Structure 1
Amino acid sequence: MKLKADVVNYFSSTVTDSGFTAHMLASAANLRRVRELVGEINLDAEAVETARLVVSELIANAVTACGDRVPLIVEVGTRGDELRVAVDDPAPTRLPKRGGSPLNDPTAESGRGLLLLDLLANRWDVTPTPIGKRVTAWLPVAGGRAEELTEERKEMSVVSDTSVDQVSGDIQEDVERKKLLDQLIAELVRLEGHLSPEVEAAIRAVPRHLFTPGVPLAQAYAAEDAPIVKKDQHGVTISSVSAVRIQAMMLEQAQIRPGMRVLEIGSGGYNAALIAELVGEGGEVTTIDIDADVTDRARRFLAVAGYPRVHVGTMDGEFGFPDRAPFDRIIVTVGAWDIPPAWVEQLADDGRIVVPLRNRGLTRSVAFERRQNHLVSRDYRLCGFVPMQGVGECRERLVLLHGEDAGLRVDDGQPADAEALGTALTGPKSEAWSGVTVGRGARFDGLHLWLALNLPHFAVLAAQRSAVDLGLVAHAWNLGVPAAFQGGSFAYLTYRQVSGEPNTYEFGAYGHGPAGAELAGQVVRLIQSWDGTHLDARIEVHPAGTPDSELPGGALVLDKRHTRVTISWPQQQARETP
C-alpha cells in the first residue's frame, strides 16, 4: 500500500495486511502520522484502537524520557487474538533507572526499549521480552486493556480512559469539541470585551482536554473553570489549571509575538502550549515549577498534545531560569507578593512581565515593562491565583471569625485579635452610606484597590454562603470584600439598591465592634473621595533601598523583601485623601 508523499521524518515505512513497520524519529509531531498508518492496517476496529493507544504511549514516553527526535523502529502486527508491538532501538543510548522498575535496568542491551514499554507492561499486565536491542510485547486484542485500573495508574498513564477517542482521532475535526470551542470563544469575548485573532487561534489549536484528564469535555472548555491539579496535606489547593478566561486575559496583556523567547513561572502545560502557538516555530517557550509532580504532568501532556519543543524545568520560580535568559516575555501564573531581582535581570531590555501581584491582600494581574532597573505598569486586571511556593512564599494570614463560615485575610504581617474580632462579628452592627452610586454591570474593582491602599489597617473579608444564610455578613464574594479593622472592631464595604432605580446601587459600609461605626465612616469617606475609575492607577516596582527622592512623588509606597512598590493615581493627585 502506497503511503502519502508528504509523510516526513520517516527513513522508511511499509504497511501490510497484518501490520506496519516505521523506522522513524519518535517525536510528538509524528504522532498523527503514525495513527494514520495504524488505521491502514487490515485489523478489526478493537485491534486498531489498541494499536493506536500503544503507539501513542510509546512515542509520548519516548519524547518525555529521551527528548525529541529519538531514532526508533516501531513494529505493530497481529497473530491470532494477540497484538504484537516491537521496539527496535538501534542507538546505543543508555538511560538511568526510573521508578525502581527492573525493566529499566540501564545495563540491559535494550535499555531504552525496555523503558518505553515499561508503561505498557504495567497497564496491560504483560512482560516485554528483550532480544538484543529489540523488545517485543504481546498484548491481548480481545478485551483491550486490563479490566480495572486504579486512579493512580490512570493518572500516571499518558492516555486515560476518558480520552481514548480524543487521542486516537483527529481532535481538530471533532464536532463536539468544535462546538464547545465556538461557545468558549463567544463567552470570552462577552466577558473580556475583546479577543485578539492570535489568542483566539491559539485557543482553538490547543486541545485543552488533554491537559485535564478525567474532566468532562464541557468542563474542560468552560471559560471560568479551573480544574484542581494538586492539594497539600491540609486540603489547600496548591496547583490548578487556570481558567481559560484568566489565561486569555494574561496572554493579551503579554502581547506575545512570533519568534519571542518566553518564560512561564508556574507550570501546567496548557498555557505553555498556548504560548508555543503564539511564538511559532521561531520562538522558544520555557515553563518551570517547583513541584516535580506538576512538571512531570506538564511534560507528558505537552508531548501527547504535540508540543515537545516546550522546555519544562523543575526549579524554584524565585530564581527564574538564567541558563535560558534573556526573555522577551515572562508570564507568572502563581500569586506573587514580591518581584524577585532575577525576574527583572532575566527580562530583555524592552521586555514585558505579566504577574499576579498581591498588594495589601488584593491580587491584580499587572503587565509591567522594563525601564532600566525598575518596572512600570501598562495595565492591570482583576484575578486570583494559588500562592507561590518556595523561597518567595509569603502567604496571608486567615483570622477565623466564626469557624469556617467567615474570616479576615490579613496581609503584610499585620497583627489581628481573632477572639475580639469574632466577638464583634456576632454583636450589633452599624451602617453608613456614601451617596456614591454605580450601575448594574459596571466594574468597581478600582474602588477595592483605592480602599486597600488608603485604609491604615486593611483586610479582606472572606465569607462562605453559610455566613450570609446565618445573617452574619451581607456578602460572600469569591475574591473577598474590602474591610478595615482596628483592635476588636472592623467594617466592610457593602451596597444597597437605590429606591426606585432597580439597576443602580449605592455604596456603604457595615461596622462591627466598639469602633465599628468610626471605621464604617472612614470607609465611606474614602468611597466619596474615589473618582469612579477602575484601572487608572500607576504601579511601579523599584529595587529595595531606592531612595524616596527617586520614587514617584505623592505615591503610596509598599516596602517588600526585594522591592519598593509604588502606587499612584495621577488623575486623583489633586484630591485630598481623608
Structure 2
Amino acid sequence: MNNALEMDDLRNQLVDEIKSKVSLTGPVERALRTVRREVHLPGATAAEAYTDQAVSIKENPNGPLPLSLASVPSTVAMMLVQLDAQPGDRILEIGAGTGYNAALLSELVGPDGEVTTIDIDPGVTLHARDALNNAGYEQVRVMERDGLKGAPEHGPYTKMIGTVGFWDVPRALHEQLVEGGRLVLPLRWRGQTRSVVLTRRGDTLISEGMELCGFVPIIGQDGERTTTLPGDTIRLHHDQDLRFDADALNDAFATPVAEVWSETRIGRQESFDGIWLRATAFEDAVCRIEVTDQALKNGVRRPAIPFRSVALVGGDSLAYLILAIDEQEADPARQVQLGAAGYGPDGTTLAKKLAAHIAAWGADRDAAPSLAVHPIDAADGDLPDGHVIAKEDSRIVLSYA
C-alpha cells in the first residue's frame, strides 16, 4: 500500500473513532475526512498524526505547559460542531496552532467564506502558514496578532473560535462579532474549563451549550492565583477575586476531619467534573485544592483527585471532594461513593454544602447551567437572576433553571 492510501485509511479510522465520541454533523465529518492532518505535523509519525491525542508543537521554556499544541482531534471535532460554520461565514480563529483547524474551517465555509487565523507567536504563525500552503489552503489568512485584540481590520466576523484557553472574554472580540454571531471558546472560571457556545445579543453573550475541555492558556491573561499553606504541602488554586488566609486554613488541618457522604455513586471511570461546574453556579469561594504526597503522609484526608479536586473555602475552614471505593459492590456503575471532607470550625457545614451539590448533580448528571457574559460595567439591575463572577472585562452570570 502506498503512503497516500495508508494515510487515507488512518484518517478514516480516526474519524470513525471520533464518531463514537462526538455526534458529528455531515459537513464536519466530510472536512475531517478531507484535511490531511499529517501535513500540519511534519515531525510526527503517521500513528501520531492519526491518534486521538494532542501533539506538542512548541515547548514552553518557562513552564510545564507547551506554548502551542495540536489539539486532540475529537475535541477539535466537538468544537467545530459547536461552531456550526456555514458556507459563506467570515471566521476568526484565535490560536493558529498547526493550521489544521483553519484548514477544516476553510472546508466548512467554502469558496465564498473567509478564515482568518491569528497567533501572538511568530514561529507558530510561520508553521501554520507553511502547512496551509503545503496542504492547498493558501486562501486562509494567517496573521501575527495578539489574540486578546483580534483582527478588526478584517471584521466583523459571523463566527469566532478560540483554540486557546480564556480566563475572560475580551471586549475587543465581542465588538468584532456581528449581532447574532457565534463565539466558541474554552472559558475558564473557578479552576475548570468548558468549551462554551456564545451568541451575541447586543452587549451580552448568551450561552447555548458547553462541554468539558482543556487548553493551553492564552498569553496575556493571568486571572488565577495560588495560595500555599505553611509547609508547602497543600495549595489552593483560585481566581484573583478570592483571597484566603493561609495561616488560618493551615490551622484548620490541625482539627479532626469531618466526612459527609452523599448517596451518589458512580463507576470507576465516570467523570464527576459536573459537581465542580454546579458548585460554581452557587458558591463564591470555589477553588481547586492540591494535596501533595507529603500532606497525605501527614494524615490529610485524600481528595478525590489529589492535584485538582474542587474545594469550598470559608474563612478559617474548607471542604473538598472525596471518594470511597466499595469493593463489595457488584454493579460497576455504583462502585464509587462520593462525599466531602471538611476541616476547621465550619468544616462540617461546608462539607454538607458540597455534599448537597454532589446529590443535585447525581440526580441530573447532564444538566448544565445557563451562562451569560455581560460587560464589566453592567448595572446589577440589568443582570439576570443567578450567581455573578466578576472578571476583568466581564461579569459572568450562571444559573440552573
Partner of 1:566, secondary structure, is: strand
Cα 1:259–1:416, aligned 2, differ >3 Å: closer, same or farther?
Answer: same
Q: Contact 1:360 / 1:453 at 8 angstroms: preserved in 2?
A: no
Q: 2:369 aligns with which of 537, 547, 558?
A: 537
* Pairs aligned (count): 395
Q: Contact 1:492 / 1:520 at 8 angstroms: preserved in 2?
A: yes
Name the structure 2 match of 1:122.
none
2:393 corresponds to 1:566: no
Q: Contact 1:285 / 1:310 at 8 angstroms: preserved in 2?
A: yes
Unaligned runs of 5+ in 2: none
Name the structure 2 match of 1:546.
378
Q: Contact 2:180 / 2:199 at 8 angstroms: preserved in 1?
A: yes
Give the number of the structure whose alpha-carbon radius of gyration is greater.
1
Q: 2:342 aligns with which of 511, 514, 524?
A: 511
Aligned pairs for 1:179-258 within 5 A: 179-192=9-22, 194-258=23-87
Tell me how far apart the structure 2 counterparts of residues 426 and 460 of structure 1 sit (CA, whole Å). Answer: 20
Tell me how far apart the structure 2 counterparts of residues 382 and 536 of structure 1 sit (CA, whole Å). Answer: 11
Aligned pairs for 1:110-149 within 5 A: none
Tell me how far apart the structure 1 counterparts of residues 45 and 343 of structure 2 sit (CA, whole Å). Answer: 44
2:112 corresponds to 1:313: no
Q: 1:398 aligns with which of 226, 232, 240?
A: 226
Tell me how far apart the structure 2 counterparts of residues 559 and 535 of structure 1 sit (CA, whole Å). Answer: 23
Q: 2:177 aligns with which of 326, 347, 352?
A: 347
Structure 1 stretch displaced more, 324-333 or 226-235: 226-235
Task: Supply the AA of the counterpart residue of 2:224.
Answer: E
2:240 corresponds to 1:412: yes
Q: Contact 1:452 / 1:482 at 8 angstroms: preserved in 2?
A: no
- Deviation of the 1:529 alpha carbon: 4.2
Name the structure 1 match of 2:386.
555
Q: Contact 2:262 / 2:339 at 8 angstroms: preserved in 1?
A: yes
Percent identity, aligned pairs only, is: 38
Structure 1 stretch displaced more, 229-238 or 418-427: 418-427
Cα 1:513–1:347, aligned 2, differ >3 Å: closer, same or farther?
Answer: same
Tell me how far apart the structure 2 counterparts of residues 365 and 210 of structure 1 sit (CA, whole Å). Answer: 26
Q: Contact 1:387 / 1:395 at 8 angstroms: preserved in 2?
A: no
Q: 1:266 aligns with which of 68, 84, 95?
A: 95
Cα 1:380–1:233, aligned 2, differ >3 Å: closer, same or farther?
Answer: same
Tell me how far apart the structure 2 counterparts of residues 345 and 360 of structure 1 sit (CA, whole Å). Answer: 25
Task: Supply the AA of the counterpart residue of 1:544.
Answer: I
Cα 1:460–1:209, aligned 2, differ >3 Å: closer, same or farther?
Answer: same
TM-score, length-scaled by structure 2? 0.87
Unaligned runs of 5+ in 1: 1-168, 571-578
2:197 corresponds to 1:367: yes
Q: 1:449 aligns with which of 243, 259, 277?
A: 277
Tell me how far apart the structure 2 counterparts of residues 312 and 404 of structure 1 sit (CA, whole Å). Answer: 44
Partner of 1:319, secondary structure, is: coil
Tell me how far apart the structure 1 counterparts of residues 135 and 254 of structure 2 sit (CA, whole Å). Answer: 53
- Deviation of the 1:235 alpha carbon: 4.2
- Deviation of the 1:439 alpha carbon: 5.3
Partner of 2:366, secondary structure, is: coil
Aligned pairs for 1:475-486 within 5 A: 475-476=304-305, 480-486=308-314
2:256 corresponds to 1:431: no
TM-score, length-scaled by structure 1? 0.62
Name the structure 2 match of 1:331.
161
Tell me how far apart the structure 1 counterparts of residues 233 and 10 of structure 2 sit (CA, whole Å). Answer: 36
Cα 1:404–1:307, aligned 2, differ >3 Å: closer, same or farther?
Answer: farther
Task: Supply the AA of the counterpart residue of 1:258.
Answer: P
Q: Contact 2:193 / 2:213 at 8 angstroms: preserved in 1?
A: yes
Q: Contact 2:267 / 2:332 at 8 angstroms: preserved in 1?
A: no
Partner of 2:153, secondary structure, is: helix
Task: Supply the AA of the counterpart residue of 2:276.
Answer: H
Tell me how far apart the structure 2 counterparts of residues 204 and 537 of structure 1 sit (CA, whole Å). Answer: 34
Cα 1:371–1:284, aligned 2, differ >3 Å: closer, same or farther?
Answer: same
Q: Contact 1:497 / 1:503 at 8 angstroms: preserved in 2?
A: no
Tell me how far apart the structure 1 counterparts of residues 121 and 228 of structure 2 sit (CA, whole Å). Answer: 29
Name the structure 2 match of 1:526.
357
